[in-house]
Amino acid sequence: MARIYPICSSSEGNSTFIGTRGHGILVDAGCSFRALKNSLALIDTEMSGIEAVFITHEHTDHIKALEQLIKHTDIPIFASRGTAEALRETGKIPSDAVIYDIRDGYQSASFEVSCFKTSHDSAESVGYKIRYGGEYYAVCTDTGYITEETEAALGGCLAVLLESNYDEDMLRRNPNYPPLLKARILGEQGHLSNVLCAEFAERLVRGGTRHLILGHLSRENNTPATAKGVTKKYLAERGLIEERDFTLNVAPVQTTGEYIAV
């Protein structure tokens, strides 16, 4: 049984643990190194229990702990080639840091990991599909729309952590966001809205997904109740009922030790 453990999830920081108590992998490392260690301790997992870290892209809310991970551990780090180059060019990691190319895939005794392209305003953003114990899991955030590659990759995954970043009305009315920032978020290289998330969630559930986790919610342009309500209502209107056909959770901004077992 795999545990999906959203360590942090918001526009300010993102990291997801997948595995069992004491051993697993991380997708992104977007909280501080100390917060990451403290969060893992809540499930009796030390840094030595992390066998690999997979980075989706170079934005700070996904790599905040990366430099310290490289400095203080020997955990292998994987990313797309474009992301690795961007990290070095911007000085976010040492120029001699080893980042393995995820396009070559990853396989160990416990995990098999592959990537799929997402549409985001970064060098070469990706999401991840993870095989563990004969089942597939996925993390898909930071994409302005669902690409054909994403759709093909995620079909049949047992559990998916899927971006539900913003409520469009809240975003458009937000006086703190300038027009250019709103346009960026709304664009095809921005983020996935609650409505687009719900539409894709239907296709996922009809394709075999049984566990949905809504993630990367904006703290200014969304709420957990809003995001969950949109997806639940959309699926119910199409005959798909929570707890019968799927489970639906919202990843916390910062974990308190809860996990989702599937």
Give the tens place of pLDDT for each residue, 46-85.
999 999 999 999 999 999 999 999 999 999 999 999 999 9
Residue 254's pLDDT band (boundaries 50, 70, 90)? confident
The token pair at 18 is: 């997948």
- Domain locations along the chain: 3-261
> What's the mean pLDDT when you consider all of the chain?
95
* Each residue's pLDDT tens digit, 18-27: 999 899 999 9
- Over residues 231-257, the mean pLDDT reads 94
The predicted pLDDT at position 259 comes to 66
- Answer whether CATH 3.60.15.10 is correct for domain 3-261: yes
Residues in the chain: 262
pTM of the predicted model as reported, rounded to 2 decimal places: 0.96
The answer to whether the CB of 209 falls within 8 A of the CB of 157 is: yes
Q: Is the pLDDT of residue 110 over 80?
A: yes
Q: Which two tokens stand for residue 248?
A: 């639906």
What would the mean pLDDT of 121-140 be, rounded to a whole number?
Answer: 97
Tens-digit pLDDT profile for residues 186-220: 999 999 999 999 999 999 999 999 999 999 999 99
For 181, phi then psi, to 5°, come to -70, -40
- pLDDT > 90? residue 261: no
- In this predicted structure, what is the pLDDT of residue 43? 84
Residue 262: pLDDT band with limits 50, 70, 90: low
Q: Distance between the two ends of the chain, CA-based, in angstroms? A: 6
